[in-house]
Structure 1
């Protein structure tokens, strides 16, 4: 019995909170509140996103520096906390952030997980033992002047800004450049246009790719505009926006330090209570992501249509094959990158709906649905960025054109008859189109047989290059 007790004391430490004592594994950097959360919320197995952890730890680093400068916590404790933050930001202790995404309202469980890990690592750096919170406290030192209620909405802002800067913006820029390159490559290839999934007047293949580049460029601008709201922080509002237990200069100084840490201009909100209550900035950014996702679905579906075949579809372009497409049909290749893009976009649209519901579900001084918003928003940004990067590199960059097939479709399109309207009249043109459809003869043949135009004039009117040229 004594041996077992000694072994237990060697393997575990005792931590205490307002609800009592619990055994914590000695090698764990999390503490008692994290343990309770893991027991209470065995929901999804999803853990906090690394970018979200980074955002929270950056806040803790900035607050430790600010509170030390303002004389609110001892300098040696702040130094240890900052060092612990730097270690986490460099990739250490990542397995210690273990609270399920679906957890206590407002994100208190995840917040305390962050506080406990940083406090225990700071204790070690100071030569102490994990769990000796009289020396470095998760609440009194790491969390000095803070509340879940102002830290978590700030972490969502910082996490989203980081994800946009490091993931989505570069991917969108790369895709735009790739589409512009393809537009130049395919500039003189004429193909049949299609509206209502029916033949339409000719267009240039290259201009279709340029249109997509313009669409993505516009979305990039919309997202950047929406993201400006994320730079206004409610940090310093403490529990309900009044700034209780904070130094008068704290909120301004911490915004300055965070600006330096992430390399983006951040400011303290003019009204901290408003910044804590409203989730509108997150809804705005999410809405811009949904808007992008909807156009990406359309582009990915267009790519699949244009590549359909090889013998029974359009096959105007060839998407690069990246893996075998069937477990039973040999030699089959599928447009898997475009398919994946649509699936991710559907998920982003679903996240946007969830974010909208969560954003309106707050009451009085707090929105308790922030853990859902944090995960869904940052995850949306990152999976969209990763998707666009993969689509650009493994699909768009390697597209080739089937020039002959494009030309044949354009030449055989009944919609060429549109160009004849002003020369032979709408009714004559309609009769020509009807005969072409019934007999299989080309429009050119029928017009010449009927003597409606001479050959030289007809060649000028049905000049595919000229017809498909965009106006200056």
Structure 2
């Protein structure tokens, strides 16, 4: 064991760990969820520490050798090393201070090793005086969250693009298959199966565009704002240089915020991003519900489409195969919508110059980005691409329904069309047969009006020109 000190006293820290006393206290204070801080958030914080060390060396605040050691340690963390050393619970008090200190201590002790010292020998590299120089948790943590979110938005947007393309391919593949369209779970009017998939593609296209545009909202950084955005204890040159350096290393269009006080205390941008993730979750969830309904049965349900079979569906019912991919996507959608509520509550609960609930926002926002990306990918690869249509079933259901009666309304009026529908229902005959029985129109006019394909296009089916 090694002995470390802070303002509360001394504590023994295991020799083999890279973290220090501040992280140890956080471990004791926050045995909450068991969730670990997002790896991509740790990577973003390490990137900021690297940029800060480099700029501070260039400005003469840090010896070059010391700064280089911090930078090497930061590179290692960014490459995924020492992941087991980031041990603080994702849900924590202190606006992210424990996570920031966890990173500071790991980088300091690793840098000490690189300088041939012993862990805990903070006279060589100090977590606060050196690694955290010209910084505060309050400017580092929200900036890192913005970087991490932007990094995760791109694969989600890309996944949406691929999903949209697959849906459009199904739109074309199913363009000639006519079926019953339904409203409020009841038979309505004819529709092409391809038209249904075109609506799904349109929804995902909107989500893709929203995600592409929202990145702009995340590009304002508050580095150098330190505690409350005023820039106390940060060299003016450092403020400009560190934001430029972080942009360079992160590979994204990050810019120094004009009003760092605003960016540090207000978390509405994360609510906005989360809201758009919720919109995507809603569209994915609605589509998944539809797929489950249309594939239900397969013989005692709707059964108009078949989903790819992924695994046995029951431990007691032989041969049963469940729509597990849409079910999983539905659960992701519920999770993201719940996370959106948590993010909104956390954002509005910040007081005065700082939001103390940033760790909750970070946890839910980054997790939502990850699980949505995974959900989009599995829905596309394991479900949408392998969907097939049962054309015969679609035709049978259409022929046994009364959906075509709506096309008679412009010709004979609503009341008489309702009578046709009632006769067809009571006598278990087709709408055509009922219309002929009542002699509502000449036979050729009835056939023209009841052409189901004409009903799937704009205009009045069978109206004489």
The one of 369, 373, 391 aligned to 1:385: 373
2:463 is aligned to none
Question: Residue 200 of structure 1 contacts residue 413 of structure 1 at CA under 8 Å; is this kept in 2?
Answer: no
The one of 172, 177, 180 aligned to 1:189: 177
Q: Deviations over 1:264-287 (max 9, x none)?
A: 111101011111000011011011
The yes-or-no answer on 1:16 pairing with 2:5 is yes
SS across alignment from 1:191 = strand
TM-score normalised by the chain length of structure 2 = 0.96
2: distance between equivalents of 1:127 and 1:431? 93
2: distance between equivalents of 1:470 and 1:418? 14
SS across alignment from 1:463 = coil
Q: Deviations over 1:71-126 (max 9, x none)?
A: 22222111111111111111210000000112122111111000000111111111
The one of 51, 64, 84 aligned to 1:62: 51
1: distance between equivalents of 2:34 and 2:23? 15
The one of 127, 133, 136 aligned to 1:147: 136
Question: Residue 160 of structure 2 contacts residue 207 of structure 2 at CA under 8 Å; is this kept in 1?
Answer: no
1:225 is aligned to 213
Higher relative contact order (CA 8 A, sep 6+): 1
Taking the TM superposition and a 5 Å limit, the aligned residue runs for 1:269-284 are 269-284=257-272
Q: Deviations over 1:295-351 (max 9, x none)?
A: 221111111100110121100101111111111101001111111111111111111
1: distance between equivalents of 2:65 and 2:231? 25
The yes-or-no answer on 1:299 pairing with 2:287 is yes
1: distance between equivalents of 2:24 and 2:242? 30
Question: Residue 201 of structure 1 contacts residue 413 of structure 1 at CA under 8 Å; is this kept in 2?
Answer: no
The one of 435, 446, 460 aligned to 1:458: 446
The one of 394, 398, 411 aligned to 2:399: 411
Gaps of 5+ in 1: 1-11
2:229 is aligned to 241
Question: Residue 187 of structure 1 contacts residue 206 of structure 1 at CA under 8 Å; is this kept in 2?
Answer: yes
TM-score normalised by the chain length of structure 1 = 0.95
Question: Residue 91 of structure 2 contacts residue 363 of structure 2 at CA under 8 Å; is this kept in 1?
Answer: no
Question: Residue 252 of structure 1 contacts residue 267 of structure 1 at CA under 8 Å; is this kept in 2?
Answer: no
Once the two structures are overlaid, the 10-residue window that deviates more, 22-31 or 248-257, is 248-257
Once the two structures are overlaid, the 10-residue window that deviates more, 249-258 or 195-204, is 249-258
**RMSD between aligned residues:** 1.4
Once the two structures are overlaid, the 10-residue window that deviates more, 225-234 or 29-38, is 225-234
The one of 240, 254, 271 aligned to 2:242: 254
The one of 183, 199, 212 aligned to 2:200: 212
Q: Deviations over 1:409-454 (max 9, x none)?
A: 2233212111112223322211111010111111111222333333
SS across alignment from 1:237 = coil
1: distance between equivalents of 2:376 and 2:425? 41
> What is the deviation of 1:372?
0.6
The one of 63, 77, 87 aligned to 2:76: 87
Say how many residue pairs are matched: 459
The yes-or-no answer on 1:396 pairing with 2:384 is yes
Question: Residue 176 of structure 1 contacts residue 213 of structure 1 at CA under 8 Å; is this kept in 2?
Answer: yes
